[in-house]
């Protein structure tokens, strides 16, 4: 009886450790994820500046239009850009520590901005 109890205790503990390890590794196994929250795809913007913000998970290096961007601890990023008038594409790219890549694009239209005189 003692041997059976010891056997169950030992393998139950090992199973718990393996299960917890897989649970914690789920983010690494999933790979990088990028979501652009603002601006929305197809937006028309009348100001000279546009703020690009979103969330990047499992990312070790992040760029917006090929310029490096930092994220906070929760993975949120924010960057203000000044694109030329007309149609522009904002591209956010990220790479995780294993070299896997992810990207997201939004197409925006910058209207000619004429400040009030």
pLDDT tens-digit readout, 4-27: 666 656 666 666 666 666 666 656
- pLDDT for residue 29 is more than 70: no
Q: What is the pLDDT of residues 61-116, one digit of tens each?
A: 999 999 999 999 899 999 999 888 888 999 999 999 888 999 999 999 988 756 65
Mean pLDDT of 43-66: 91
Q: What is the pLDDT of residue 16?
A: 65
Q: What is the pLDDT of residue 64?
A: 94
Q: Give 46's pLDDT tier (boundaries 50, 70, 90).
A: confident
Q: What is the pLDDT of residue 55?
A: 95
CA 9 to chain centre: 41
Mean pLDDT of 22-35: 73
């Amino acid at each position: 009886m003692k041997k059976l109890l010891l056997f169950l205790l030992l393998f139950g503990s090992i199973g718990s450790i393996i299960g917890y390890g897989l649970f914690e590794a789920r983010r690494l196994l999933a790979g990088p994820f990028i979501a652009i929250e603002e601006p929305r795809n197809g937006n028309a913007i009348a100001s000279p500046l546009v703020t690009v913000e979103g969330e990047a998970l499992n990312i070790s290096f992040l760029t917006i239009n090929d310029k490096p961007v930092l994220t906070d601890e929760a993975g949120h990023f924010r960057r203000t850009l000044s694109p030329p008038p007309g149609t522009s594409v904002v591209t956010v790219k990220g790479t995780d520590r294993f070299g896997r890549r992810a990207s997201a694009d939004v197409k925006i239209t910058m209207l000619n901005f004429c400040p009030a005189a």
